[in-house]
Amino acid sequence: MKVYFDNAATTPLDPEVFEVMKPLMLDMYGNPSSTHAHGREVRTKIEYARRTVAELLNTVPAEIFFTSGGTEADNTAINGMVNAYDVKHIITTSIEHHAVGHTVDKLVELGKVKASYVELDAQGHLNMDHLEELLKNNPNSLVTIMHANNEIGTKNDIEKIGEMATEYGATFHSDTVQTMGHFKHDLKSLNCQFVVGAAHKFHGPKGVGFLRVCNSRKIGRFIEGGGQERNRRGGTENVYGIVGLAKALELAYSHMDEHRSHVQSLKDRMIEKLKANFSDIQFNGDINPESSLYTVLNVSFPPHENNGMLLFSLDINGISASGGSACSSGANTGSHVLNGIKADPNRQGIRFSFSKYSTAEEVDYTVEKLVEILSPVAV
């Protein structure tokens, strides 16, 4: 059996998405910046996609800018705010995606900003009192905190964070890559000036994403060049990617409740089967359905001689997952997320991430193979 449990890294392309992309690949090949009929036809497709995304997120098309993916969108939001508004202080966490964390590190290294890190508990939840203290003491800050963690699945209350940021005059950017297409976002009611999406996380194509820039924030050009994306991002648009993104998000919103129910049932099934077969299992991050990603389950297995080869052993058995461990030596930096929540460095962490295409049979097979590999003691 072949099992794909690495959907937090990327998801399979939905066939319906591919079908709407095909005409743009084969027949509608005009440059959308051209004024002739071939170009106008393609321009119409881009603007329809922009309107679709905006309507689904309850915002206006003028706030949606298409990018090459989540990393570019995160970089653009953070660097754009620092450059356009002379931001000198960033409030973030130690467990952000590298698209955010490394961007902040670089700005600190260049002496452009100072950074403060919100305290976290053992599940990766924010200390909201500490966040408020940082906001009080650092006016005109940029808050950059993700909606849900890509490794451990812990979800942040971005509604509350946004309200707090607004109260203290801060700007809020949230990396929403892992929740976009899996949870509904109402941007008119959310006090978050920058949100991010990447199509390949919700069964769209790779190499395309978007950045929502609230009309109250005017940041500079993302990429120098032509006048594309309303003179903000130079370069000929990835037309079939953009059209595919909009279709994928539309499908995700149309079937969100049923997909969430299905995927949550798989996650619950794996949790129960792992508990039944391993006497000393640990789950990294929050596994409460109300405060975690239903698509992600991060597990630390008891110390075992096969821990170091666990991902390889799973791969040999046809199971694709991802993993990491907390730092156990100076030579092994480990997962910055597991380090950030002070996970046990002697345990191998594995992230299983599910999608609408995952099945109960795949969960059962995976647990069965884990039992064989690790030879656990039954409870």
- Per-residue pLDDT, 309: 84
Which one is catalytic: 327, 334, 344, 371? 327
Is 261 found in the same domain as 233? no
If pLDDT is split at 50, 70 and 90, which confidence band does 324 have?
low
- Residue 334 in any domain: the answer is yes
The mean pLDDT of 84-98, rounded to a whole number, is 97
What is the band of 308 on the pLDDT scale with cuts at 50, 70, 90? low
Q: Looking at the 3D structure of the chain, how many domains does it have?
A: 2
Summarize pLDDT for 23-45 with one digit per residue, the tens.
Answer: 999 999 999 999 999 999 999 99
- Tens of pLDDT, residue by residue over 222-252, are 999 999 998 899 999 999 999 999 999 999 9
Residue where a domain stops, chosen among 199, 233, 254? 254
Determine what percent of the chain is predicted with pLDDT higher than 70.
95
* The pLDDT of residue 326 is above 70: no
3-state secondary structure the chain: CCEECECCCCCCCCHHHHHHHHHHHHCCCCCCCCCCHHHHHHHHHHHHHHHHHHHHCCCCHHHEEEECCHHHHHHHHHHHHHHHHCCCEEEECCCCCHHHHHHHHHHHHCCCCEEEECCECCCCCECHHHHHHHHHHCCCCEEECCCECCCCCEECCHHHHHHHHHHCCCEEEECCCCCECCECCCCCCCCCCEEEEEHHHCCCCCCCEEEEECCCCCCCCCECCCCHHHHCECCCCCHHHHHHHHHHHHHHHHCHHHHHHHHHHHHHHHHHHHHHHCCCCEEECCCCCCCECCCEEEEECCCCCCHHHHHHHHHHCCEECEEECCCCECCECCCHHHHHCCCCCCCCEEEEECCCCCCHHHHHHHHHHHHHHHCCCCC
104 part of a folded domain: yes
Whether residue 299 is contained in a domain is answered as: yes
* Mean pLDDT, the chain, integer: 94
Residues 197 and 266 in one domain: no
Q: What is the mean pLDDT of residues 302-316?
A: 82
- Rounded to an integer, the average pLDDT of 300-309 is 76
Active site annotation includes 214: no
Looking at residue 44, its pLDDT comes to 97
Average pLDDT estimate for 64-68: 98
Q: Which of the residue ranges 169-178, 326-335, 340-349 would you say has the lowest mean pLDDT?
A: 326-335
What pLDDT score was predicted for residue 329? 38
Does residue 226 sit in the same domain as residue 337? no
Asked if 277 and 318 sit in the same domain, the reply is yes
Q: Which of 219, 254, 289 is the last residue of a domain?
A: 254
Q: Is residue 379 a part of any domain in this protein?
A: no
Asked if pLDDT for residue 50 goes beyond 80, the answer is yes
Q: What is the pLDDT of residue 379?
A: 37
CATH code for the domain in which residue 330 is found: 3.90.1150.10
Q: Which domain holds residue 62?
A: 15-254
The verdict on 352 and 262 lying in the same domain is: yes
- At 185-212, the pLDDT tens digits run 999 999 999 999 999 999 999 999 999 9
Q: Are residues 243 and 335 in the same domain?
A: no
> What is the structure's pLDDT at 349?
86
> Where residue 330 falls among pLDDT bands split at 50, 70, 90?
very low
Q: Quick one: pLDDT at residue 159?
A: 98
Q: How confident is the model at residue 307 (pLDDT cuts 50, 70, 90)?
A: low
What pLDDT score does 331 carry? 41
Residue 279 has a pLDDT of 87
160 and 198 together in one domain: yes
pTM over 0.85: yes
Q: What is the pLDDT of residue 348?
A: 80
